[in-house]
């Protein structure tokens, strides 16, 4: 699969996610083993102290992990687990999540993600880092049906 084709498939998948549309996420780069997602920061994404809400940081990390896992495992993937460390408050103009693959097997990939906050008047600041396991699934299979 050509990189441009993979990028277009990724953009289509992101557009199909209602929550991604709600937060304004955009796919900036997507190729085998690497992904970049960007989210413009607006008031609706802030918590009471004016920082980007932890749930938005977590969304950015989770989605970047899943996308980058899918870049090596294929499109039918889910996050099995992930851990996030919040490092500093998100104050700025936009979030940028960089995902990469640490290890990939046939059915799972261990991935990492660093989430930066970008501000026009300041240096980029690492505000969260995450690691997770992404697994394949069979569409319509028992492992994806609600109980």
Report whether pLDDT(1) > 80: no
pTM over 0.85: yes
Q: Report pLDDT digits (tens) over 70-113.
A: 999 999 999 999 999 999 999 999 999 999 999 999 999 999 99
Report whether pLDDT(28) > 50: yes
Mind listing the domains of the chain with CATH numbers? 3-138 (3.10.129.10)
Q: What pLDDT is attached to residue 5?
A: 87
Give the 3-state DSSP-derived string for the chain, with helices as H, strands as E and coil as C. Answer: CCHHHHHHHHHHHHHCCHHHHHHCCEEEEEECCEEEEEEECCHHHECCCCCECHHHHHHHHHHHHHHHHHHHHCCCEEEEEEEEEECCCCCCCEEEEEEEEEEECCCEEEEEEEEEEECCCCCCEEEEEEEEEEEECCCCCHHHCCC
Mean pLDDT in the chain?
Answer: 93
């Amino acid at each position: 699969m050509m990189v441009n084709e993979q990028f277009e498939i990724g953009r289509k998948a992101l557009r199909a996610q209602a929550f991604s549309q709600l937060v304004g996420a955009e796919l900036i780069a997507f190729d085998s083993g690497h992904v970049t997602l960007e989210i413009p920061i607006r008031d609706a994404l802030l918590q009471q102290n004016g920082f980007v809400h932890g749930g938005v940081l977590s969304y950015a990390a989770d989605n970047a992990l899943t996308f980058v896992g899918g870049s090596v495992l294929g499109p039918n993937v889910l996050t099995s687990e992930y851990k996030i460390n919040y490092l500093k408050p998100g104050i700025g103009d936009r979030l940028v999540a960089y995902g990469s693959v640490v290890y990939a097997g046939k059915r799972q990939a261990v991935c990492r993600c660093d989430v930066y906050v970008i501000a026009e008047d300041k240096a980029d600041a690492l505000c969260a880092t995450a690691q997770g396991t992404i697994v394949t699934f069979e569409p319509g299979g028992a492992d994806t049906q609600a109980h």
